[in-house]
Structure 1
Amino acid sequence: MAPTETTKAGGYSKSAPPKLSDVKELIDEGTFEQILEMDDDDDRDFSKGIVYGFFDQAHNTFDKMEAALKDKKLEELSQLGHFLKGSSATLGLTNVKDACEKIQHYGAGKDESGSTDEPDEKVSLKKIDTTLKEVKVEYTKVEKFLRRYYGEEVKEEEPKKEQPKKEEPKKEESKKEESRAEEKVKKAEPTKK
């Protein structure tokens, strides 16, 4: 394994490589070791390429999921959930796989297990929104661990505080402002004779 950091008060120091057994709640050790067995030598270039390719794929898929959620495209969300479920299962990323499977089911108008119909699209979209937020948290944990595993130094970030949303002006107030602006333009225009 590539050297990275040892556990120290929840973080890592630079002396020993992290162990898969340290994150067994996030990564299925047996499945991930099958990927590692494909490496030719100790530098782990082959498995690193697969894992880093997954990082790109996951980020792109999460972006597409956000857009599909905004546009309320349940079928597309189901397909994206299915796609990322397969990729994460291949690497043994248990929590990511499970959450993506839920998104797949919710997008198909089912409950989280996929066994019962959910006829209310709003309920499905709300559940996808919640699950997408949760899977991103789980994914971030896995990505940080795997980057350390492959010898990359990973900075611990402080949790981002959500910025308060700006309130949109009421439609009536916007119309009044538009009318005032139009009147000013008309007054400023030279009158034709």
Structure 2
Amino acid sequence: PLQSCSQTHAPCPRPHPPEIIDMETFEQILELDEDDTHDFSSGMAWQYFSQAQVTFKEMDEALEKTDLTQLSHLGHFLKGSSAALGVNKVRTVCEKIQHYGLLWDDDTHKDLSRQEALDKITPLLPVGKKGYAEAETWLKSWFKVRGVNSPTEDDE
């Protein structure tokens, strides 16, 4: 089922944000588009998809090596790009990974041991990947309804 998005009145894919996308942030990105081709916003989205896939792979590798410093760095990086596009779940998960990688629990305001941090990060990565997959599906659907295909679909 689809619902109307405020800016273009074209259908929006469900589930409706804020579970997946912060619409206020996303609509600010859409305002940067010069016309209805959505060149800027779609380019930003496809760059995010590429970055997120690579970053999650690097996070898996860092977790395997128990490299908390790298996990914190990668969490910080992906948190920023997720926030810029309004991808809420990934932003939240990556912020937690960033803090846990620094041996800090922002919820309890307490220091963590290396093992505690790893124990908290391990189950978060699949949650972040699931949130990313939901956001990618939603965003691609949103753009497709507006006639914008992914760069690979344009080449086929």
Query: Normalised by the shorter chain, which TM-score bucket?
Result: 0.7 to 0.9
In the alignment, the residues of structure 1 paired with residue 63 and residue 29 of structure 2 have an alpha-carbon distance, to the nearest angstrom, of: 32
Which structure is richer in relative contact order (CA contacts within 8 A, separation 6 or more)? 2
**Which residue of structure 1 aligns with residue 85 of structure 2?**
91
Find runs of 4+ consecutive structure 1 residues off by over 6 angstroms.
none
| Cα offset, 1:114, TM superposition | 7.5
- The within-5 A match list for 1:123-162 is 123-151=116-144, 152=149
Q: Provide closer, same or farther for how the CA distance between residues 68 and 56 of structure 1 changes in structure 2, counting only shifts above 3 A.
A: same
| Cα offset, 1:56, TM superposition | 0.3
Q: Provide closer, same or farther for how the CA distance between residues 131 and 27 of structure 1 changes in structure 2, counting only shifts above 3 A.
A: same
Tell me the alpha carbon deviations over residues 75-133 of structure 1, each in whole angstroms, 9 at most, x when there is no partner: 000010001001111111111101000000111001143721002x1221121110111
How many residues align? The count is 139
Could you tell me which of 32, 37, 44 is aligned with 2:31?
A: 37
Root mean square deviation of aligned Cα: 1.9
**Which residue of structure 2 aligns with residue 25 of structure 1?**
19
Q: Which has the higher helix share?
A: 2
TM-score (ref. length: structure 1): 0.67
| Cα offset, 1:18, TM superposition | 1.6
**Which residue of structure 2 aligns with residue 47 of structure 1?**
41
Larger-Rg structure:
1
**Which residue of structure 2 aligns with residue 103 of structure 1?**
97
Unaligned runs of 5+ in 2: 3-9, 151-156
| Cα offset, 1:20, TM superposition | 8.0
1:78 aligns with 2:72: yes
**One-letter code of the match for 2:120?**
K
1:64 aligns with 2:58: yes
Unaligned runs of 5+ in 1: 1-5, 8-15, 154-193
**One-letter code of the match for 2:61?**
A
